[in-house]
Structure 1
Amino acid sequence: MGVFVLVLVVVLALLGAVHRYVWQRLVRDVTAPGGPARRIGTVLVVVLPLLSLAALVSARAGAPFWVQRAVAWPGFLWLALLLYVVLALAVGEAVRPLLRAWLARRAAAAPRAVPEPSPALVPAHEPGPAAAEPEGPGAETGRVADAAGVSRRLFVSRAVGGAAAPVAAPPVGYGTYGVLRGPRVKRVTVPLAKVPRAAHGYRIAVVSDIHLGPILGRAHTQRIVDAVNSAQPDLIAVVGDLVDGTVENLGSAAEPLARLRARHGSFFVTGNHEYFSGADAWVDHVRDLGLRPLRNERVEIAAGFDLAGVDDVAGESEGRGPDFVRALGDRDRARAAVLLAHQPIVVHDAVRHGVDLQLSGHTHGGQLWPGNYLAELANPTVAGLERYGDTQLYVSRGAGAWGPPVRVGAPSDITIVEIASKQA
């Protein structure tokens, strides 16, 4: 609870600072004092972060599920839009002095009388034309010059601020469409030296980070099931972060998983979000739906390799973290081993225990650019296939989205990993 409170305080401080900056640039600098536009803008800058905060904490706070759903769409979508509005404004900060200088040079090259702006158009923090000024020779020229400066500042503020929303909206809109449309199926071939000829071409459907919750529900699950079944895999691996909520609220949303079809079955390992949502209850529920949970254990696959799964590292807080010795310690290392582990960070343990291929998710590929650069700081691989010693690691971008139902620069995917035998 202490960590949660600390994170909440940091989030509140960050939201407050960012929204104050947005209010300054998009409301104060471009609207008339006391006007309806300023009043509406100020209200929105107060209400939208409150909705975002409610979307972030409502589940943890035990709010009714209908409340979670009511705040999730506006709250989370605003967070995505806010990110790109702030990025656009940051670029605008560099453009602002250049635009002012260009306007000043243009005015100097073609001097002419500049009409004084109406006081209603002058932002409150700018000196208005009605301010007391010295009278005498040159006073009128000074007032005209001041008015020209105010007009330029107002024009630049409106130009930069007015461009922020048109720049931010398209990626957020298209990114939302991509999530709601459902993940695309991609295919990756992974050569494994130890698998026999009989396993050549064996296909594993890797599904991660579905994130059923207040926004993504039963229809999202059905789209994923349809996509997986259409690929006709030999085995299905659901590698964590299935849900963001309790079985009571989301059990029915997960029910289409019972229709997954593969000749060697469907398997499941926990992700960190299961431990926020009641991991044991979800393990029991997915077992009832026909998926086999692998909780620090392994099975022998008839095609000629071992399939192991470990609990997520978040389970350590409940005494159920990954146990590689239990899952892999006494196996025959002459056989290839494929490991299901939600987070890529355990790949170094996989290397020590002779795993040939680790299948993971967790990163979402960054989900919202430039989040991929932050994800690189915390994960050895953010997306795709990489080698660590004798172990290959494949990281899926995931089939859903956490928080904002938006992906920018990191499209969702279901991956068909096709094993290639070097003996073939």
Structure 2
Amino acid sequence: MRYAFIITIIVLLQLFSFGAALSLEWWLQPWSTPALIMIMWIAIFAITNILLLLSVTKSFANSYRWISAWLLVMHFILLTAMLTGLLYGGFWLLSALGDNAFYNTETIAIGLRIFALVFFIGLFNYTLYSAYVPAVREISIKINKPLNNPLRIAVASDLHLGRLFGSKAIERLNDIVQRYQADVLLMPGDIMDDNTTAFTDYNMAEDLAKLVSSLPYGVYATLGNHDLYGHEQPIREALQNAGVQLLNDEVTCLSHQGQPIWFIGRFDNHKRQRVATTELLGQVNTAEPVILLDHRPSDIVVHSELPIDLQVSGHTHNGQIFPANFIVNAINRLGYGYEKIGKGHFVVSSGYGFWGIPFRLGSRSEVWLITLNGDGSNNADNA
């Protein structure tokens, strides 16, 4: 299975290279020579396979970022070529149906190349914006359990704190939770980008501690798969030292204006020995509100039959780069967004940060603001 995956990736990279080279050959056509075109083809395939070799052999740190970035460049070239091709087809159809003299072929060719360049640059700027400027998703839900006063819950999953996403992102998150008057912040996994190196080097602990202290009930979190890739202990210690309340296969009870609300946090299923949800539920009073932090949304169907009122998850990034969002939603009962399923309410966030490279297309960096109402809540609304 592993070899089949590697072979598939290699084949896809060669196909992307072929498509990107073909697209650039068209774009360069008015100014090119056979020698220039040959150099361009060789350069694209050379870059692809050199980066692939470096990534496979792990010749330098974060080599996967370079191959990912190059793949993204080729992906954007292909998307640009597809859209430009559709426009060209439209002009061709109009010229076939109308007066051919009205359409100057040379002018259209230059115009399409200018459009392709502007669109390609705009695509990069838009995807950077989508990665670094978060949207705020507000919803209000009502549960059939006692809760006289609404609880304002902020959810920021998948921060992936590292060299490309750090202190400024934490400060921005602090501004958001303050502006929307959140009571508590939940971070369901992938808080660090594999290790604490950048977290320590850039002194992010101070910013994270400020974020924790700014919320009435602080920050609750659980670890995701990227927090468990060999650096679990230092990540755990860094978060706890900043005041984050970690719930890894653990439960805790929060008193919200005199009423109990239970929080359950699960390890990501990368941790093979993790405790079953049913066992954790045995430690709480399920007649009272129960909120579950579970990094992956893979157990939503099972959890929808349990006395869980709200589950918050992440992990999927909503695909991060189009068209992966379609794949994410095809393989998950709920790959992204909010839905009431069975007995509970479920929120799967696309994440506050990003994985690998700072680009998002078809997804958006986001924070969820959930107003949790219960029996007796003032201004209780259904989502």
| TMscore range, shorter length | 0.7 to 0.9
Q: 1:217 to 1:103 in 2, by over 3 A?
A: same
Aligned with 2:311 (options 358, 380, 383): 358
The aligned runs of 1:387-398 (5 Å cut-off) are: 387-398=340-351
Q: 1:421 to 1:156 in 2, by over 3 A?
A: same
The aligned runs of 1:251-270 (5 Å cut-off) are: 251-253=200-202, 254-255=204-205, 256-259=207-210, 260-261=212-213, 262-270=215-223
Q: 1:161 to 1:13 in 2, by over 3 A?
A: farther
The aligned runs of 1:391-410 (5 Å cut-off) are: 391-410=344-363
Q: Secondary structure at the match of 2:285?
A: coil
CA positional deviation for 1:217: 3.1
> Hey, what does 1:114 align to over in structure 2?
none
Letter in 2 for 1:367: Q
Rounded to whole Å, the distance in 1 between the matches of 2:100 and 2:303 is 69
Moved more, 10-19 or 94-103: 94-103
The aligned runs of 1:15-26 (5 Å cut-off) are: 15-26=13-24
Q: Secondary structure at the match of 1:311?
A: coil
> Hey, what does 1:119 align to over in structure 2?
none
1:79 counterpart = 2:76: no
Q: Secondary structure at the match of 1:194?
A: strand
Aligned with 1:177 (options 129, 144, 148): 129
> Hey, what does 2:381 align to over in structure 1?
none
Q: Secondary structure at the match of 2:376?
A: coil
CA positional deviation for 1:187: 2.4
Q: Check the 8 A contact 1:76/1:405 in 2, yes or no.
A: no
Q: Secondary structure at the match of 1:193?
A: strand
Q: Check the 8 A contact 1:85/1:167 in 2, yes or no.
A: no
Q: 1:417 to 1:105 in 2, by over 3 A?
A: closer
Letter in 2 for 1:15: L
> Hey, what does 2:229 align to over in structure 1?
276
Structure 2: runs of 5 or more not aligned: 378-383
> Hey, what does 2:380 align to over in structure 1?
none
1:238 counterpart = 2:200: no
> Hey, what does 1:88 align to over in structure 2?
80
Rounded to whole Å, the distance in 2 between the matches of 1:403 and 1:51 is 19
Q: Check the 8 A contact 2:329/2:336 in 1, yes or no.
A: no
Q: 1:333 to 1:245 in 2, by over 3 A?
A: closer
> Hey, what does 2:330 align to over in structure 1?
377
Rounded to whole Å, the distance in 2 between the matches of 1:302 and 1:109 is 77
Greater Rg over alpha carbons, structure: 1
Q: 1:422 to 1:62 in 2, by over 3 A?
A: farther
Rounded to whole Å, the distance in 1 between the matches of 2:162 and 2:126 is 21
Moved more, 233-242 or 272-281: 272-281
Letter in 2 for 1:354: P
| 1:35-63 CA-partner distances (Å, limit 9, x unpaired) | 44x255335513553586489x48x9373
CA positional deviation for 1:169: 2.6
Percent of aligned pairs with the same amino acid: 22
1:285 counterpart = 2:219: no
Structure 1: runs of 5 or more not aligned: 111-151
Q: 1:107 to 1:246 in 2, by over 3 A?
A: same
Rounded to whole Å, the distance in 1 between the matches of 2:23 and 2:110 is 9
Letter in 2 for 1:80: L
Letter in 1 for 2:75: L
The aligned runs of 1:295-306 (5 Å cut-off) are: 295-303=248-256, 304-306=260-262
The aligned runs of 1:319-334 (5 Å cut-off) are: 319-320=273-274, 323-334=276-287
Q: Secondary structure at the match of 1:313?
A: coil
Moved more, 161-170 or 292-301: 161-170
Aligned with 2:141 (options 180, 186, 190): 190
> Hey, what does 2:9 align to over in structure 1?
11
Q: Check the 8 A contact 2:13/2:71 in 1, yes or no.
A: no
Tell me the TM-score normalized by structure 2. Answer: 0.81
Letter in 2 for 1:209: D
Q: Check the 8 A contact 1:267/1:294 in 2, yes or no.
A: yes
Rounded to whole Å, the distance in 2 between the matches of 1:414 and 1:51 is 38
Cα RMSD (Å)? 3.5
> Hey, what does 1:49 align to over in structure 2?
48
